[in-house]
Chains A and B, each alone.
Chain A
């Protein structure tokens, strides 16, 4: 039986207008340019595009981890970087590609860190926090590792722990950077199913997706980034049009429906 989680689905509305991000001195390098979109509860948005297109940079902007150099990004009518860190941590959670800890924390304690934005400073985590973390670990498929040391885990096991931590943070906006990059096909499917469930329950999920088949299958909306520009957005199968793929990835592809009726593609030699 799947562990029940009472999910926070408070309203979130992200509004991004003419967002730009440049780095470097005189010959400034453009990472993001004139990106505009809006998104709200219930969407599972996948960000796709070639390497270096600015996918992670866009996600970090949404998460308030980088300040834009042009344009605005606002959550519920307020600029993201004007929130206090603790306040935004109750609205938005962010899962990095890989998180390595230098000391031997037990998995349970790492998952509990997701409850930090809600805990008062001096009090220990409450019994309810422990209980919630336990159910998150079950959902993420890492309950059997609860008492292991996080430094002793493989990359895939660690990624499931970090996903459990994101579940424990239980924010209405969830940002994920390639959340299944280290997972085998069974866990990848399970985690994507969970993520889609979060969006269907009313959260807003935005994820960087490197696997186009998974993006087509699980997301209900895609952003295609190319050289820092948002060149296409909308229904997955419209965004993953053959012309878009050959333009963004510079490779000829043939798209089709496979025997199970899922979107698929193959590369043309």
Chain B
């Protein structure tokens, strides 16, 4: 098109620049994650050397290495590593779920618990506490069941009303069902005794203290399945950002795609919240930071968010442990993520208001 006068230099400048490659993100992410894990396991009330950590892991795997001191082995393999791995899975899962929700709702301020997971899991957890059924595995089971009930009701109402995949219908039924669950939570709280109320409040602050391998096992499948399926379906999520009709015209069924993604993100979030309690802001800020680093294309963004969320939550949890060790005061990791996250969230609100977008 000579009339448009496109210089040849521009045409040749970038012919096949492929910015959906996963390998660099995977390599950098794995290296940083491994470093952060070693650091997190090494530091605490008792420091252990990185070499000892590797020896503990190798001897657990029955590789022929000199076994570490049994006390070190216990600290590493039964106390710190399960807690660190719980932080890795929870951080990765929340960040991935947040990225999915922001994409599905075409809204940069969406967060993982947006569709009833937060309200539903709180009610479930409170029922377990108030019913005297709260053990280290029944509480997560109740919280998970509550979250799934809320998500099921919201999706059921949205589909049943004929609004189908419309995001407005989903958000509105989400608000209504969440309000219903919050009301039931308040009602139960007003009937509960003081000890039950304070254990519930402690649960709502979110934490990773005393998490065991069983907790890691409860999260690993939902988080990994979500991660793999979404990376596989990442381009559909990109295309959904164009709008429902545009997506349909490009061969992506908006209804099916949105429902699949919402269900995956919600199950993943519910499994995490059940184990850790609600941990705010990881699912909101990590996707934004990663979008600045690797761009908005979801194939890379999802992977980067998984690494970013894992490292961020693990380091926040490390801060709580380092703070607890000299002071004896156990602060919840949710407090740290919110202290870092809330100011950033406000910054986003101001910025999007200034740009006139949201």
Query: Which A residues are within 8 Å of any B CB, using their own CB?
Result: 1-3, 60, 63-65, 85-90, 92-94, 96, 99-106, 108-110, 113-114, 116-117, 119, 121-122, 124-125, 127, 130-131, 134, 138-139, 141, 143-144, 146-147, 151, 169, 186, 190
Closest to A116 in B: B250
Q: Is the CB of A117 within 8 A of B250?
A: yes
Q: Which residues of chain B have C-beta atoms less than 8 A from A130's C-beta?
A: 15-18
Q: Is B246 an interface residue (CB 8 A)?
A: yes
Nearest CB in chain A: distance from B104 CB, A: 11
Given contact pairs A94-B245, A124-B18, A146-B14, A102 touches B252 in the complex (Cβ within 8 A) = no
Q: CA A99 – CA B240 in complex, angstroms?
A: 12
Sampled A-B contacts (27; CB under 8 Å): A2-B1, A65-B248, A85-B251, A87-B251, A90-B251, A99-B242, A99-B246, A100-B243, A105-B297, A106-B19, A109-B238, A113-B238, A113-B239, A114-B250, A116-B250, A117-B251, A121-B233, A124-B299, A127-B16, A134-B15, A138-B11, A139-B1, A141-B4, A144-B6, A146-B10, A151-B357, A190-B4
Q: Is the CB of B1 within 8 A of A138?
A: yes
Q: Give the bracket for the number of chain B residues in contact with chain A.
A: 35 or more
Nearest CB in chain B: distance from A141 CB, A: 5
CB under 8 Å from chain A, chain B span 12-29: 14-21
Given contact pairs A103-B296, A109-B297, A141 touches B251 in the complex (Cβ within 8 A) = no
Q: Is B59 an interface residue (CB 8 A)?
A: no
Given contact pairs A99-B242, A101-B242, A131-B15, A116 touches B251 in the complex (Cβ within 8 A) = yes
Q: Is the CB of A125 within 8 A of B20?
A: yes
Q: Which residues of chain A have C-beta atoms less than 8 A from B253's C-beta?
A: 85
Query: Which B residues are within 8 Å of any A CB, using their own CB?
Result: 1-4, 6, 10-11, 14-21, 106-108, 232-233, 235, 238-239, 241-243, 245-246, 248-253, 291, 295-297, 299, 357
Q: Is the CB of B246 within 8 A of A96?
A: yes
Q: Is the CB of B1 within 8 A of A102?
A: no
Q: Is the CB of A105 within 8 A of B15?
A: no
Q: Which residues of chain B have C-beta atoms less than 8 A from A86's C-beta?
A: 251-252
Q: Is the CB of B106 within 8 A of A102?
A: yes
Given contact pairs A85-B252, A90-B251, A60 touches B245 in the complex (Cβ within 8 A) = yes
For B14, B18, B242, B249, the residue with the greatest tally of chain A CB atoms inside 10 Å of its CB is B249
Interface of B is mostly: loop
Q: Is the CB of A105 within 8 A of B232?
A: no
Q: Which residues of chain B have C-beta atoms less than 8 A from A96's C-beta?
A: 243, 245-246
Closest to B355 in A: A151
Q: Which residues of chain A have C-beta atoms less than 8 A from B3's C-beta?
A: 186, 190
Q: Is the CB of B245 within 8 A of A102?
A: no
Q: Is the CB of B291 within 8 A of A143?
A: no
Q: Which residues of chain A have C-beta atoms less than 8 A from B246's C-beta?
A: 94, 96, 99
In addition to A103-B291, A106-B295, 18 A-B residue pairs with Cβ atoms within 8 Å of each other are: A89-B249, A96-B246, A99-B242, A104-B295, A105-B296, A109-B238, A109-B297, A116-B251, A116-B252, A117-B250, A124-B18, A127-B16, A130-B17, A130-B18, A141-B1, A144-B10, A146-B14, A186-B3
Q: CA A89 – CA B233 in complex, angstroms?
A: 17
Q: Which residues of chain B have C-beta atoms less than 8 A from A131's C-beta?
A: 15-16
Closest to A138 in B: B6
Q: Is the CB of B1 within 8 A of A89?
A: no
**How many residue-residue contacts, CB under 8 A, span A and B?**
115
Q: Which residues of chain A have C-beta atoms less than 8 A from B250's C-beta?
A: 89, 113-114, 116-117, 169
Q: Is the CB of B11 within 8 A of A190?
A: no
Q: CA A183 – CA B6 in complex, angstroms?
A: 18
Q: Is the CB of A64 within 8 A of B248?
A: yes
Nearest CB in chain A: distance from B303 CB, A: 13
Nearest CB in chain A: distance from B126 CB, A: 35
Q: Which residues of chain A have C-beta atoms less than 8 A from B241's C-beta?
A: 101-103, 105
Q: CA A87 – CA B291 in complex, angstroms?
A: 32
Closest to A128 in B: B16
Q: Which residues of chain A have C-beta atoms less than 8 A from B357's C-beta?
A: 102, 151
Q: CA A146 – CA B14 in complex, angstroms?
A: 9
Nearest CB in chain A: distance from B102 CB, A: 8
Nearest CB in chain A: distance from B304 CB, A: 14
Nearest CB in chain B: distance from A68 CB, A: 16
Q: Is the CB of A125 within 8 A of B251?
A: no
Q: CA A44 – CA B249 in complex, angstroms?
A: 20
Closest to A175 in B: B249
Q: Is the CB of B249 within 8 A of A94?
A: yes
Nearest CB in chain B: distance from A57 CB, A: 12
For A92, A93, A102, A122, the residue with the greatest tally of chain B CB atoms inside 10 Å of its CB is A102
Closest to B4 in A: A141
Nearest CB in chain B: distance from A159 CB, A: 13
Q: Which residues of chain B have C-beta atoms less than 8 A from A3's C-beta?
A: 1
Q: Is the CB of B16 within 8 A of A63?
A: no
Q: CA A63 – CA B249 in complex, angstroms?
A: 7
Q: Is the CB of A109 within 8 A of B19?
A: yes
Closest to A92 in B: B249
Q: Which residues of chain A have C-beta atoms less than 8 A from B1's C-beta?
A: 2-3, 138-139, 141, 190
Closest 4 interchain pairs by CB? A89-B251, A86-B251, A94-B249, A103-B296
Nearest CB in chain B: distance from A191 CB, A: 11
Q: CA A139 – CA B3 in complex, angstroms?
A: 11
Q: Is the CB of A93 within 8 A of B249?
A: yes
Q: Which residues of chain B have C-beta atoms less than 8 A from A92's C-beta?
A: 249
Q: CA A105 – CA B185 in complex, angstroms?
A: 42
Closest to B2 in A: A1
Closest to A2 in B: B1
